[in-house]
């Protein structure tokens, strides 16, 4: 029986085992292969383009002759295979996981158990599933081999940073902070988004666009009724960039995840459900520690924005991001794999549009904000339900990458006191109907603008960190 005929009779929801079959790398392309039971293989490809200059020599996308670099890349590629498998595992969530590429140590299996459970929490909630007793990666013992530093030639005390660009305000604040600190940075992104490419070009940094091709079999499974839903994309991109860092000779991966990303939306099946779990502090710590122990002792992975709230980051963007106002967008409808996209950069209807509009309003002149969005979202009664969810009024926080309800309320409170905003429909509604039900002492904007001490930013990035708060 060939793969095509097997596909047509295979029901992914009935699978007993999810298999990590093999992974490999050749001439700039990584291949990641999975399967359910004896069903057809699902093969994903990650394409790493030629990129120079590289402290590792050549085009900077080969594994090189140095055994330290080869071992580091092998470890990073294997973890990419394991993490990216979450896109396929969710189609069936079978009880058995088999890793055919070799045994996992306790730390690796533990990280994967945690990622799959919490990274798929929203998926489980929406599908009415309980994953607590279903996810168990096989393990054999502790990792005891010390991991050396990467062989970056002529690096000295400087650093080379990969900065993931998502098209929105947060990564642009990181870009400007690194520029101000004089750090050698490259803007990178995964996928073929023209919007992100335009934003990356505007930064003036060198750019690195990595391709990702999901297995077409997965889309066929979805059409056949496989389980489907949200996955922790940031974790997958983190694993891709770890491979890129080794290939191209970078020693830092600098994300733009603020502390608000760690806040959960609701509780379900004995745990918290956080749409942004792989952007949160727990995953950042686990993955950073794993990279230091298994890939390279000097490969730092962290978020420069971790000490700050969404409002603090938005304030920094309002002060320094004028060069990006006509190109940036946080509206996720721009980045759908399939389905319609907004005619402009902002759809004006989704939670991301609602939150970014609300968060920018205290820090930008009103005419400038209306110019960016093309309309006043806070003077539209039809948008009330969307903004209510942001402040958790009659609804829970949206399953989106938005700030905490408390900071959204603080932003509303600021606008309610400003003449230019206070009579707009939703601001007036907040002032007259909602604010009287709230504790006024919890609505202070200043409480959201200072940094937290909980972060993993290395000392060598201290100047960039201070720039954000300045």
Task: Please report whether residue 40 resides in a domain.
Answer: yes
Q: How confident is the model at residue 7 (pLDDT cuts 50, 70, 90)?
A: low
| Whether residue 58 is found in the same domain as residue 134 | yes
Going by their DSSP bridges, the two strands 207-213 and 184-190 should be labelled as: parallel
What pLDDT digit, counting tens, does each position of 114-132 carry? 999 999 999 999 999 999 9
Nearest-angstrom CA–CA distance, 7 and 392: 44
Q: How far apart are CA 179 and CA 323, in angstroms?
A: 14
Instruction: Based on the fold, state whether residues 255 and 342 are members of the same structural domain.
Output: no
Write the CB contacts of 123 (distance below 8 Å, at least 6 apart in sequence): 90, 129, 227, 228, 229, 230, 231
For the stretch 209-233, pLDDT in tens is 999 999 999 999 999 999 999 999 9
Mean pLDDT across 297-314: 97
According to the model, what pLDDT value does residue 6 have? 47
pLDDT attached to residue 396: 86
Domain boundary (269, 303, 337) is at: 303
**How many domains would you assign to the chain?**
2
Asked if the structure places residue 210 within a domain, the reply is yes
Chain segment 253-282, per-residue pLDDT in tens: 999 999 999 998 888 988 999 999 999 999
The answer as to whether 318 is a domain residue is no
Coil, strand or helix at 173: helix
Block residue for tokens 């279903």:
134
Q: Are residues 58 and 157 in the same domain?
A: yes
In a domain, 184, yes or no: yes
Spatial neighbors of 88 by CB under 8 A, at least 6 apart, are 18, 34, 42, 44, 215, 218
Q: Which domain holds residue 345?
A: 327-448
The SS3 assignment for 46 reads strand
Of 288, 303, 318, the last residue of a domain is: 303
Global pTM value = 0.93
pLDDT of residue 82: 98
Task: Indicate whether 460 belongs to any domain.
Answer: no
Q: What is the pLDDT of residues 334-365, one digit of tens each?
A: 655 445 544 578 999 999 999 999 999 999 99
Residues 398 and 298 in one domain: no
Percent of the chain whose predicted confidence (pLDDT) is above 90: 81
Q: Given this model, what pLDDT does residue 337 score? A: 46
CA distance 239 to 78: 9
How many residues in the chain? Answer: 470
Mean pLDDT within 378-387: 96
Residue 184, classed as helix, strand or coil, is strand
Decide if 230 is inside a domain.
yes
pLDDT band of residue 105 (cuts 50, 70, 90) is very high
Phi/psi at 357 (nearest 5 deg)?
-60, -50
What is the predicted pLDDT for the residue at 11? 79
The number of CA neighbours under 13 Å toward the Cβ of 149 is 10
Per-residue confidence (pLDDT) for residue 304, from 0 to 100: 98
Can you give the pLDDT at residue 159? Answer: 84
| DSSP H or E segment with residue 366 | helix 366-373
Alpha carbons 249 and 401: distance in angstroms, whole number: 31
For residue 469, the model assigns a pLDDT of 86
Residue 289 and residue 378 in one domain:
no
Across the chain, what does the average pLDDT equal?
Answer: 91
Same domain, 384 and 431: yes
Does 338 lie in the same domain as 264? no
On whether both 378 and 417 belong to a single domain, the answer is yes
- Distance, in Å, from the CA atom of 46 to the CA atom of 86, rounded to the nearest integer, reads 15
**317 assigned to some structural domain:** no
Q: What per-residue confidence (pLDDT) applies to 61? A: 60
pLDDT tens for each residue of 406-441: 999 999 999 999 999 999 999 999 999 999 999 998
Q: Bigger pLDDT: 153 or 10?
A: 10
Examine the domain organization and report whether 170 and 121 are in the same domain. Answer: yes
pLDDT of 343: 53
Please list, residue by residue across 128-161, b when 16 or more beta carbons sit within 10 angstroms of its beta carbon and e when fewer do: ebebeebbebebeeeeeeebeebbbeebeeebbb
Q: Is residue 172 scored above 60 in pLDDT?
A: yes
At residue 2, the pLDDT reads 44
Same domain, 347 and 227: no
What's the pLDDT at 277?
Answer: 97
Look at residue 109 and tell me if it is in a domain.
Answer: yes
> For 65, how many CA atoms within 13 A lie in the half-sphere containing its CB?
2
Q: Specify the pLDDT at position 56.
A: 53
| Model confidence at 154: pLDDT above 50 | no
Q: Quick: pLDDT tens for 52-73.
A: 655 555 455 665 668 888 999 9
Whether residue 112 is found in the same domain as residue 241:
yes
- Model confidence band, residue 152 (pLDDT cutoffs 50, 70, 90): low
Residue 348 and residue 299 in one domain: no
């Amino acid at each position: 029986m060939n793969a095509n005929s097997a596909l047509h009779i295979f029901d992914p929801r009935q699978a007993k085992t999810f298999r990590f079959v093999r992974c490999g790398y050749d001439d700039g392309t990584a291949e990641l292969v999975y399967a359910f039971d004896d069903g057809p293989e699902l093969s994903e490809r990650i394409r790493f383009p030629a990129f120079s200059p590289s402290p590792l020599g050549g085009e900077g996308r080969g594994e090189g002759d140095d055994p330290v670099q080869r071992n580091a890349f092998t470890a990073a590629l294997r973890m990419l295979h394991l993490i990216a498998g979450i896109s396929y595992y969710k189609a069936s969530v079978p009880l058995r996981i088999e890793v055919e590429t070799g045994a996992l140590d306790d730390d690796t299996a533990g990280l994967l158990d945690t990622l799959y459970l919490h990274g798929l929490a929203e998926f489980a909630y929406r599908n009415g599933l309980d994953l607590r007793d279903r996810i168990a990666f096989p393990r054999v013992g502790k990792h005891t081999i010390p991991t050396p530093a990467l062989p970056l030639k002529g690096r000295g005390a400087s650093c080379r940073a990969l900065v993931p660009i998502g098209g929105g305000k947060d990564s642009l604040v990181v870009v400007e902070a690194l520029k101000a600190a004089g750090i050698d940075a490259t803007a990178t992104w995964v996928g073929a988004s023209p919007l992100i490419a335009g934003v990356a070009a505007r930064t003036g940094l060198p750019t690195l666009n990595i391709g990702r091709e999901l297995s077409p079999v997965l889309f066929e499974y979805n059409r056949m009724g496989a389980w489907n839903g949200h996955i922790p994309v940031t974790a997958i991109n983190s694993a891709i960039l770890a491979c890129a860092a080794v290939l191209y000779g970078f020693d830092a991966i600098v994300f733009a995840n603020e502390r608000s990303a760690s806040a959960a939306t609701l509780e379900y099946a004995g745990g918290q459900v956080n749409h942004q779990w792989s952007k949160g502090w727990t995953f950042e710590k686990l993955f950073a520690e794993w990279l230091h122990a298994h890939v390279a002792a000097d490969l730092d992975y962290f978020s420069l924005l971790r000490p700050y709230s969404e409002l603090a980051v938005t304030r920094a963007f309002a002060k320094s991001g004028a060069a990006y106002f006509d190109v940036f967008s946080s509206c996720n409808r721009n980045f759908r794999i399939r389905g319609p996209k907004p005619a402009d950069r902002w759809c004006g209807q989704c939670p991301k549009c609602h939150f970014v509009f609300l968060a920018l309003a205290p820090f930008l002149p009103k005419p400038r904000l209306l110019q960016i969005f093309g309309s006043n979202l806070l003077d539209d009664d039809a948008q009330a339900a969307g903004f209510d969810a942001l402040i958790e009024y009659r609804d829970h926080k949206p399953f989106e990458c938005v700030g905490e309800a408390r900071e959204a309320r603080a932003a509303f409170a600021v606008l309610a006191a400003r003449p230019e905003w206070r009579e707009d429909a939703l601001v007036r509604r907040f002032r007259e109907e909602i604010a009287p039900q709230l504790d006024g002492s919890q609505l202070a904007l200043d409480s959201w603008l200072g940094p937290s001490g909980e972060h993993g930013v290395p000392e060598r990035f201290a100047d960039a960190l201070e720039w954000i708060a300045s």
